[in-house]
Amino acid sequence: MQSKDMSEKKTDIVVVGAGLTGLSFCNLLKDTNTKIFILDNHSEEYFREVNNDRHIVLSNTSKIILEKLSLWEKIENYCSKVKNIHISKKNIFGSTLIRSTDENLDSLGYQVPIKYLIRCLYENIKNVKNFEFLYASEVLEVSNGNLVKLRYKQNARENLVIANSAIFSSGYTDSIFQDIFIEKVEKKYNQNAVACEVISSENNSDTAYERFTDQGIIAAIPRKENSWTLIYSTSEDESKKIINFSKKDAKIYFQKLVGKKCGIFSHVNNIKSYPLQLKYYKKFINKNICLLGDAAHTLHPIAAQSFNLSLRDCTFLTNQIKKNKSKENVKYEDIFQEYYEERIKEQIRLVKFTDFLASYIHGNGFFKNNLVGVGLMFLDINKNIRVNTIRYLLGVNFSQSLITNLTE
C-alpha cells in the first residue's frame, strides 16, 4: 500500500468529509486531547468563503447541542423560527396545525443558511492544536485491521494516514468503503426535489406549511424578511418542466400550488433540482471504522431529519469516546459497537417514517384522499397525538436520555 516516497502520518481518528456532520463531530471533541486528521476534497479557501445558498432546518435538540458547544449565539442571528407547522392535502377537506406551544417550546425548529452554519463550525475548530486539516485531498484506498490505513492524494502526491479509527461522514466516498460496508439498502423514488427561494407579501411568518398534492409534497418554510424556502418533491418529469419555466411562469405555478398561505409571490429565485433516494447501511460500523451522516444514511427530506439525526448520532458517539479516553488502551471497535447498538433503533424508525410519508401519502385516489383527510382531522383534534408527533420529529422519543444529559 505504501511507496518509498509516500509520507506517513499517525493519528487517533481520521475524519473523511468536513461537511456539516464531520465538522460537528470534531467540534464535539474540541476540548479533549484526541488527535484528529480531517480530510476533505475542498480547498482551505472554500471554508473561509462558503457560498452555499441552501437552507437547513435545525430541531430543538440540535439547538441544545449547539448551545452546549457555545455556538448557538453565533448562529441564532441568522435563524428564522418555525413555531407551527400547518399540514394539509390539496383539494380535500381536513388539515392540522402542529404548534410549539403544545410542548411548551419556544419553537419547533430554526431555519438557517448552510453557509453560516459551516463557517461557524469550521471557525470554531480550525486552530485547535490537536486537529489537522488535510485540504484538497482525495481518498484513494482504505483498509482496516488493528489500525486503519488510509491512502490519499494531496497536491498530486500520495500520502498515508495510519489511525486508531476512521470516521466517514460524506456520501461521496461510497466507492472507497464499498468492500468494507456491504449491506446497503437503496430505494429510488423516481422523484426530484425542486428547491427555490420565494419572496412574498407575507412578512416574518413563524408558520411553515407542508402540503400533499397529486404530484408530490411541497414545503414552504419561512426565512427572514418576507422570504420563504420552497422544497417540492415531485416526479422527474414534473421537476424537469419546472426547471425550464420562466421566472414568471414559476411564480404562477408555485402560487397555485401553495395558495395564498404564504402571501402573494413577487419573485422566485435560484430554482434548483436534485434527485431523491433512500440509502442506508444496515450495519454502519465495521471494527474500527464508522459511517456518520450522509455516508451512513440519506433520507427523503420530507421531515427535515437527516442532519438533525446525524447531529444526535455525533453527540452520542463523541460522549462514548470521551468516557473511554481515560482508559489506557482505547478500543474504538468496542466504542463503535456500543454506539451501533444504541443508535440503530432511532435510525431505522426515521428511515421507515420518512419512507412511508414519501411513498404512500402523496398521490391521488378517492380512498387515499379520504384516509389522509380523516387522519389530518384526527391529528388536529387530538392533542396527545400531536404532542407525540412533535416528539417524533424532534427525536425525543428515541433520544430522551441523550437530551436529558445535554440539559443537565
What is the pLDDT at residue 299? 83
pLDDT tens digits, residue range 70-110? 999 999 999 999 898 887 776 555 577 778 887 777 888 89
DSSP H or E stretch at residue 45? helix 44-48
DSSP assigned state of 165: E
- Please state, rounded to an integer, the average pLDDT across all residues of the chain: 84
pLDDT tens digits, residue range 287-338? 999 999 999 998 877 666 789 899 999 999 999 999 887 776 789 999 999 9
Alpha helices in 247-305 (DSSP H): 247-258
Residue of 72, 300, 92 whose CA lies nearest to 187 = 300
Beta carbons of 75 and 129 less than 8 angstroms apart: no
The residue extents of the domains of the chain are: 7-186+278-407
Task: Look at strands 227-235 and 109-113 and give their pairing.
Answer: unpaired
What is the pLDDT at residue 218? 87
For residue 76 the three cell numbers come to 441564532
For residue 117 the three cell numbers come to 452554519
Indicate the length of the chain as a whole number.
Answer: 408
Beta carbons of 234 and 215 less than 8 angstroms apart: yes
Collapsing DSSP states into helix, strand and coil, what is residue 325?
coil
For residue 348 the three cell numbers come to 431505522
pLDDT grade, residue 49 (50/70/90)? confident
Q: Which CATH class is domain 7-186+278-407?
A: alpha beta
